A and B are shown apart, each in its own frame.
Chain A
Amino acid sequence: MNIPDETLMAYADGELDPAQCAEVEAAIAADPRLAARVEQHRALRRQLNAALDPVLLETVPNVLVSTVHGSPAARQGTTDARGAATVTDLRRVRAARAAEAKEAAAFARRAQSPRGSWTWFEWGAMALCLTLGALITHLATRSAETSRIATAHGRLVAQADLAKALSTQLVIDQSVDAPVQIGVSFETKSGDICRTFTIKEQNVLGGLACREQNLWRVHLLEDAPPGSNDHDYKPAGGSMPASVVAAVEKQIKGEPLDASEEAAARARGWH
């Protein structure tokens, strides 16, 4: 399939609607050159971030902070007025530092992610476009209490029976009637435990969730391919959306966990 480079770029930037997204992902799955091109678009963004994000860590020059509240550092005044200005200056400088520290922390978290591997941060764009279509259908049909997915701090996390199944259900002994079916469990190259799953809403949805602190963060969620066999949860092919399969293949370290490894991971709380 011929996909214009501008579309690949928009895909890498998380700017496509779900329909376009699905089309691009199908093309990417079929042609590794397209996947490489998307990765190049992402790499350029990373390069720019690496070059310019450190500016956020710099101390904002005083002259800028004082320009904001209209009392240039150089301006002369009475001792009292100057004293008062200094107090406000300090408060504002502190506010600026706090904002800076917050940004810095976010930057540091990103910088810490292992070089060369596909970090969660970079999954962002992919997850964004995937979730949208499925999520709208999903959220429209459930109340807040029974909703299987919620947003927390700008992330999608599993809850209700989805969270429970991800935490407790083992592939080997799950019932075929269970509302949540776990596909595979695996360890990522960066050492996280992730599990694929399918759930039945109005449609069957396939997704990928990874353990993050004590939550299951949902990275991908998409309509499962139509006509798929609901009870076939093999990682490659089967009813898993192509994007989930591609993500597993990209992220997995070695082989999926076998039954005893999975049980051990559960015993450790999936860490």
Chain B
Amino acid sequence: MRPSAEPIRDQLVPLLPRLRRFARALVLDAQRADDLVRQAVTRALLTLERLPAGTPLESRMFAIVREVWIDQTRSAGPPPDSPTPAEQATQIPDSSSETPIQRLSLETALQLLPEEQRLAVALVLVEGMAYKEAAAVLEVPVEVVRSRLSQARGTLEVLLGAREGEV
């Protein structure tokens, strides 16, 4: 264990609850979300010495979770047998004919968002970051965060039926 890594390791522990929440916004399955955090922590520890001075660890950690997640989604794709959230959603209304519009759960609706939009929602609405902070994590201009967020909200509201009635 490198002694120089110690302070960063100590700072990582208090970040874990938030990293787990962030991962859960990205990945529906809790076990897979935790695995994402674990891989991100491992990757972070490998690259710690290259953390530029003055870089907030928090911002860097969210960026690493994002990197690992993007790598995972690129390489794996959904398991062939499991229905996609969209399929699950369309299966639900058939079972209950008296309910004309079956709302999706919020967690499921999130999974239907394109990756980049899901990241924007997770950072700003779930983690409470300012647009600027989220832009730094995502390495895109603030306007891009704003536009993705706006699109994502529109989609979520339709999926959740929020425009018909509140919460």
Residues on A facing B (Cβ under 8 Å): 5-6, 9-10, 13, 15, 40-41, 43-49, 51-53, 55-56, 58, 60-61, 63-65, 67-70, 92, 95-96, 98-100, 103
A48 pairs with B106, CB closer than 8 A: yes
Residue of A10, A41, A100 near B17 (CB, 8 A) is A100
Q: Which residues of B contact A41 (CB under 8 A)?
A: 153
A-B pairs with lowest CB-CB distance, top 6: A99-B14, A55-B21, A6-B150, A96-B13, A56-B17, A51-B106
- Whether a CB of chain A sits under 8 angstroms from the CB of B92 is no
CB-CB under 8 A for A13 and B131, given A58-B20, A69-B9: yes
Q: Which of B62-70, B83-91, B118-126 contacts A (4 or more CB under 8 A)?
A: B118-126
Residues on B facing A (Cβ under 8 Å): 1, 9-10, 12-14, 16-18, 20-21, 24-25, 34, 37-38, 41-42, 45, 106-107, 121, 124-126, 130-131, 146-147, 149-150, 153-154, 156-157, 160, 162-163, 166-167
Q: In the complex, A10 Cα to B120 Cα: how many Å?
A: 13
B107 pairs with A51, CB closer than 8 A: yes
**Chain A residue with Cβ nearest B45:** A70
Q: In the complex, A254 Cα to B131 Cα: how many Å?
A: 38
Q: Which residues of B contact A10 (CB under 8 A)?
A: 131, 146
Q: Which residues of A contact B157 (CB under 8 A)?
A: 40, 44
Q: Could you tell me the distance in whole angstroms from the C-beta of B33 to the nearest C-beta in chain A?
A: 9
Q: In the complex, A59 Cα to B154 Cα: how many Å?
A: 34
Residue of B12, B41, B130, B147 near A6 (CB, 8 A) is B147
Q: Which residues of B contact A58 (CB under 8 A)?
A: 17, 20
Q: Which residues of A contact B17 (CB under 8 A)?
A: 55-56, 58, 60, 96, 99-100, 103
- 16 additional contacts, CB 8 Å, given A47-B106, A68-B12, A99-B14? A15-B130, A43-B167, A48-B125, A49-B125, A53-B21, A55-B17, A58-B20, A64-B20, A64-B34, A64-B37, A65-B13, A67-B41, A68-B45, A92-B10, A95-B10, A99-B17
Q: In the complex, A43 Cα to B156 Cα: how many Å?
A: 12
Q: In the complex, A41 Cα to B150 Cα: how many Å?
A: 10
Q: Which residues of A contact B1 (CB under 8 A)?
A: 69-70
Q: In the complex, A95 Cα to B150 Cα: how many Å?
A: 37
